[in-house]
Amino acid sequence: MNEKEIHLRDYLRIVSKRRYTLYTFFLITLAIVLITTFTAKPLYLATTRVLIERSEQSPLVNNYAYMAYDPEFLETQAQIIKSSGVGRRVVERLGLVDKYDAYFAEDGGFSILATVFGWVDGVKDLVVKLAGKESAKFSDAIQSKETLERAKADGVIRAISSGLMVEPVRNTRIVAISFMSPSPELSKMVVDGAAQAYIDEVLDMKMATSDYSIKWMTKKAEEERVKLEKS
């Protein structure tokens, strides 16, 4: 006990001796936390929920439809929602390329996209300086307005697709779609647009499958007709 008391007094003596250093460290840490808290731009999370059902009929158990939890099916639908096809539909539906400066070029927003396009412009200027006027004309011809707009659209699509968060609700047929951004308006528009874009994407996939099936059956029917005529 005496040894422990001595050790404790030694520790207290060290703390007392270094108290000004501790005070300074505490004040610096507090100042950094306060500055970060008051200067950080808030992010807004919007969430919508979508009911996803299979096309085939569920078996009946005691006159009630039975739906087993199928994580693979819901995960597949989640990947479709996060696909570039759905992202492109969202961007086109909301006109986000035209609204790029309002939602994506602001400080604290999707600054990565602005950095990428700035880097592209910087490379272009460097090529112009090194290669002269002829290369400048060539560079301008390649990087036309349509090319830059396409690159900007692809960047926005990637930002939307990678930013979508899809989480199946366990033991239900419901999927939660979320999106976070510095703009509450953008977050709400994206999740609503993603839900509708997912519906359109699935319908187009089904239509494409039906068209392929019809073409295949038509081709086989024509082959059988030719065989029948030969017979």
pLDDT of 184-223, one tens digit each?
Answer: 899 999 999 999 999 999 888 888 888 888 989 999 999 9
Q: Which residues of 175-205 are buried (b: 16+ CB within 10 A; e: fewer)?
A: bbbbbbbbbeebbbbbbbbbbebbeebbeee
With a CB cutoff of 8 Å and minimum separation 6, the contacts of 114 are: 104, 105
Query: How far is the C-alpha of 63 from the C-alpha of 48, rounded, in Å?
Result: 31
The three-state secondary structure class of 62 is: coil
Instruction: For 20-76, write each residue's pLDDT tens digit.
Output: 787 888 888 888 887 877 777 788 999 999 998 876 555 544 444 445 556 688 888
DSSP element (H, E) containing 140: helix 111-142
Return the residue matching tokens 């989640």.
78
Enter the pTM of the model: 0.59
A 10 A CB-CB count for 46 gives: 19
